Structure 1
Amino acid sequence: MLNQLRADFYRQTHTIGHYLLLVLVLIYSFVTIYFKSVGGVMVSAPEDTLAQLASGTWTVLSGVRAMTIGASILMYAFISIFVMVIGYEFSQETYKNTLISGISRSGFIVAKYITMLVDILLQILAYYVFGILVGLAMGRKLGTSWGHLLSTTLATVGITTFFISVVFGMAVVLLILTGSQIGSAAFIVIFPLAVSIIAAVAHWHWLKYINFFSTTVKISVGQITVSQFWPYAWVSIAILAVCFLLSLGLIQRKEL
């Protein structure tokens, strides 16, 4: 498994697409902060937060909240991570060569999950850190204490990374099951948008537990406390665990 991790990270450090993605993430962060632009899947953002960002004077904390709303778009950009780490191998069936080389199937899946998680974490961290630096360079006030700003940012980075990894976990199951890179990538696009729209239209209370970006925004603006967050976290952990076990079970049955 360690050899697989080293191989994956080595390949990415020598892939121009990995660096292009980072550049796009930083540009998006800059545009959000500099132009006070709030993007993202807007149905996931509380209306009062959007109104406040539209009419109020921006601080560095305001920028962090705006970036959190806009982070829903990043998941679509991160499809490239999914493709580079695991999607291409299954669509071209080159994963068979890796498995024949001696790595266990479980080790292969674990390595892919870890690689995607680290990639997403680093990209999200760069997104927020760069946005904060841009806000500071523009002379904006913090809007809070340094301690609260950093704790809010780090919590948001961790939660956003985790929620994106849950969606990617479901996409991995679909990829192994069908072998379709296009189908699994389309799922990454459709799932969060469909959940947000259905939650807004149907008002199904239980959907809040899988409306990931809405939850992240509410945590960032203080509408959900740490104690209130745990039910959301446990649901996501359960989904990710099931996806991981399904991935292991499915790849064990794959013929080489």
Structure 2
Amino acid sequence: MGNGTSTERRLRNPGSFERLHRRCKDVFPQQLEGVKLIINKHLSNHFQAAHTIHLSSMSPHYHFKAMYSGDQQADSDESFPQALGEVDSTGSLNAQCVALLANRIRAKAAFQTQQERFQTWQFDTEYRGDSFTATITLGNPDIISESASHWVGTLNIGRGGAHASYYHQANDQVQVGVGFEASTQTQDTTFSFGYQLDIPKANMVFRGSLDSNWVVGGLLEKRLAPLPLTLTLGAFIDHLRNKLQYGFTVTVC
């Protein structure tokens, strides 16, 4: 084996998880409704501000965003610490702060409020290796008002296989569930994800699901007040078998 220079290419660090997901989301078009005016202003090398006025038929909004970046540099040419805050005309606030603890370790804290009430806290610790990124995330909704979110985790293991599920109620409107099922008889393993959205003002409940067999389903329940009727519309699409199943139900109660 000679002493020539190796031509093997070295893997680079992929960056943060947030940036990787954003690259995919940037490909998709964003829905536009109404008229939007955005004004960006660079106040200095460290401060930036943005004003957004959105006029629409649903709900006009004004957003103010402020960003700060410090003098501490990292290998990725990013500046730390970083702070970002955004407030709208209703008083709701989104804020996050990112600090560089060491050359390879970053810590981020983020929280969200809905008017005067705290909605979500989230803490992330990220380690960047030479060719990989590892992240640990801790989330605790509504930690200030001591209204803890509800969650249930289950695991069953037997001769027939294994079944695990996780249910989480984020708030009064959003509920999610994740399921895993493995059968030793059919040698089949299935992952499934489901969610439920409650819209009390519209008397509607929507449930959606997606599993590893590429079966996508949705169910919409609408209470036809003041009549004692509930209309349910449902549809499921099996992409692998190219099969569509749909129907509706009328309930008198």
Same fold, judged at TM 0.5 (above): no
Q: Which structure ranks higher in relative contact order (CA pairs < 8 Å, sequence separation ≥ 6)?
A: 1
Structure with the higher helix share, 1 or 2: 1
TM-score relative to the length of structure 1: 0.22
Structure with the higher strand share, 1 or 2: 2
Say which one has the larger Rg. 2
TM-score relative to the length of structure 2: 0.22
